[in-house]
Chain A
Amino acid sequence: MLTSKMNTSSKSQAFYGDFVISIFILVIIIIIYFEYIGNLSNQNSDSLSELLAEAKIISSSLTGAGAPANWNTDNVARIGFVDAGNKINNAKYANLNQISYNKTKRLLGTTHDFFLFFENESQYVQNVEGYCGIGSKLVNITYDLKSAYLNECPDPDDPNCEQFLKSFMQTELKADYYCSNQNDCPPGMYIDDLINNLNNYDFVVLEHPALSQAKWNNFKASADSWLMNGGLLFIGGQLPSAQSTTGFDVEFRKKAGQSESDRLSTVIREDEFLAFEVGQNIIFRQAYYVVNQGVDNGFTDIVRFNGTYVHFNDIKNFGDIAIARWLYGEGKIFFFSDFDANYFKGNFAEIVKNSAKKWANAVCLPINIAGLKRQNLVRLNRLVVYKSDILKMVLYVWS
């Protein structure tokens, strides 16, 4: 009886000892943890407040009008893209996107990295003028848009192929790749597959597909209803093999001559979707053009070939149309003579890509900053108006 009682007592002691030791260890860990966090906070508070002060300066600059009042990429002295009433000035915001990141930092007077984006009232990232955000390339921007890309090359990595939009389509828009040459096409990637799957896509790009007339006719037949229901189609380069073909209420033609003077064109109209400057020249690698054959309204000619004309008004009135966009039912079509072109005032491909994102109204996926290597990071929110929507402008600045 006594032995049994002692055993019980001994077991109780063991429990109690374990408990005391574990509580003791826990208390020590908690004390060390809070000491460490406290010191960390003190050490970083100065740099954090400096960073916050800098974020405030940057946000104040960005939400101003900038200088000079109607600044552009050539004469900008201070960056700002918000007018009175906190309204985003679309042209200035588009200009900001044309300025390199390092120059933007210099103009903002900061050595820290930054990233800027907008959220709508549902807290989704908002596509503003074709951009989901501006700033450091360390922040990944991705779009939620079902898209497809058709090119004549069977090998997506063939460097000899004309594939100027391929990289953009595949990396940024995660587009499905299709080719128009059946012999070498991997299974499921042939033009017929695209025709069958067309209704799965919001946005399709045909870059120099060089289709047979029969395949072009099949594509047209299928794309007709797809466009009528709101699809977005970008076409450029050689469509079918023939010199001339029709479709989507226009006639597509190849210029008779392909010398440099034949391929020289001029921007004749400012367009809200294409940031080309009126009067500037573009030389396409190949010269194709469209003739409006039945688009009643919504046909916008943006760039015309100079041809034999010298004066701007003659080119504007009589030149062949090198770039145009038009409405087709609920859908939209954008025609480019070629995606391979030299634009004297900027990067042609970049402008086309931005136009794609703007026209397609691509939905931006959430901005993820978890992978950023940084010591300190601050977030500053402002409210602005884009078109008729109030948006939250989110600015991240980090060191």
Chain B
Amino acid sequence: MELKKAIYFTLDSIIAGGIVLTIIILLSSIYSKEPDATHLNYLSNDLISILGSIKVKEIDNSYIKSLINDGTITNLDNTVLQQIGEFWANNEIDLAKKTALNVTEPWLSTHTGFGVWINNEVIYNRDIQVKMYLISSKKMISGIAKGHITDLTRNNPPTLWGPAIIEVRLWE
């Protein structure tokens, strides 16, 4: 009877050892997977470069398209950054925030902090603590005020807003 119990304990330890080894092997395989290296300086530069050049009429984004369709966005030649700036200049901060959120959300991991400031006024800010480092990219923007004529003549110049400094911050 006692002998049987001893055999039973040995089997237990072999099974336990097997489980431990399996866990270690699994951990090793996870450990050796490729590191995710979306470098924030690249991401920050890429975002400000893309959003500062792609026009609202070009970008394939359902939220911006809906704003164009309902007449909220009138100047289709605005870049995305200019459009955010125009909303800011018109004190439509919620629209500016939603635009910034919609165009950037798919490209940012959930643990990456992101925010947009115009002239140091926060437009959108992800509620994530800065733990390691923060990268900032800035660009000067200006544009034609909403609803104003865009024929650029000396006698009848369009009303402009800005210039303002738009800042994109990313952090982890």
- Chain A positions within 8 Å of B, measured between CB atoms, are 11, 14, 18, 21-22, 25-26, 29, 33, 37, 52, 55-56, 59, 84-87, 121-122, 369, 377-385, 387-390, 392, 396
Chain B residue numbers with a CB within 8 Å of A59 are 42
Task: Report Cα–Cα, A62/B83, bound state, in Å.
Answer: 29
Q: Are B39 and A380 in contact (CB under 8 A)?
A: yes
Q: Are A121 and B106 in contact (CB under 8 A)?
A: yes
Q: Are B36 and A392 in contact (CB under 8 A)?
A: no
**Known contacts A22-B13, A381-B42, A390-B107; can you find 11 more A-B pairs with CB under 8 A?**
A33-B24, A33-B27, A37-B31, A55-B37, A87-B53, A378-B37, A379-B35, A380-B38, A381-B43, A383-B43, A396-B34
Closest to B49 in A: A86
Task: Give B28-53 as 1s and 0s: 1 = Cβ < 8 Å from A's Cβ atoms.
Answer: 10010011111100110011011011
CB distance from B166 to the nearest CB of A (A): 16
CB distance from A96 to the nearest CB of B (A): 19
Q: Are A383 and B53 in contact (CB under 8 A)?
A: no
CB distance from A275 to the nearest CB of B (A): 25
Q: Are A18 and B50 in contact (CB under 8 A)?
A: no
Closest to A381 in B: B38
Instruction: Knowing A33-B24, A379-B34, A380-B39 are in contact, say whether A392-B107 is a contact too (CB < 8 A).
Output: yes
Q: Are A379 and B107 in contact (CB under 8 A)?
A: no
**Residue B54 is within 8 A (CB to CB) of chain A in the complex:** yes
Instruction: Knowing A25-B17, A390-B107 are in contact, say whether A378-B50 is a contact too (CB < 8 A).
Output: no
Task: Report Cα–Cα, A122/B6, bound state, in Å.
Answer: 56
CB distance from B78 to the nearest CB of A (A): 14
CB distance from A392 to the nearest CB of B (A): 6
Question: Which one, A25, A86, A378, A388, contacts B58 given CB within 8 A?
Answer: A388
Chain A residue numbers with a CB within 8 Å of B140 are none
> Which of B27, B54, B59, B103 has the most chain A CB within a 10 Å cutoff?
B54
Nearest 9 Cβ contacts at the A-B interface:
A85-B53, A121-B106, A383-B46, A381-B38, A388-B60, A377-B34, A388-B58, A379-B34, A86-B50
CB distance from B75 to the nearest CB of A (A): 17
Task: Report Cα–Cα, A379/B109, bound state, in Å.
Answer: 15
CB distance from A249 to the nearest CB of B (A): 32
Task: Report Cα–Cα, A377/B37, bound state, in Å.
Answer: 11
Chain B residue numbers with a CB within 8 Å of A18 are 9, 12-13
**Residue B130 is within 8 A (CB to CB) of chain A in the complex:** no
> Which of A11, A18, A55, A390 has the most chain B CB within a 10 Å cutoff?
A390
Task: Report Cα–Cα, A11/B20, bound state, in Å.
Answer: 26
Chain B residue numbers with a CB within 8 Å of A122 are 106
Closest to B58 in A: A388
29 intermolecular pairs with C-beta atoms under 8 Å apart = A11-B5, A14-B9, A18-B12, A18-B13, A22-B13, A22-B16, A25-B17, A29-B24, A33-B27, A37-B31, A55-B37, A56-B39, A59-B42, A85-B52, A86-B50, A122-B106, A377-B34, A378-B34, A378-B37, A379-B35, A379-B36, A380-B42, A381-B37, A381-B38, A381-B39, A382-B46, A383-B46, A383-B107, A389-B60
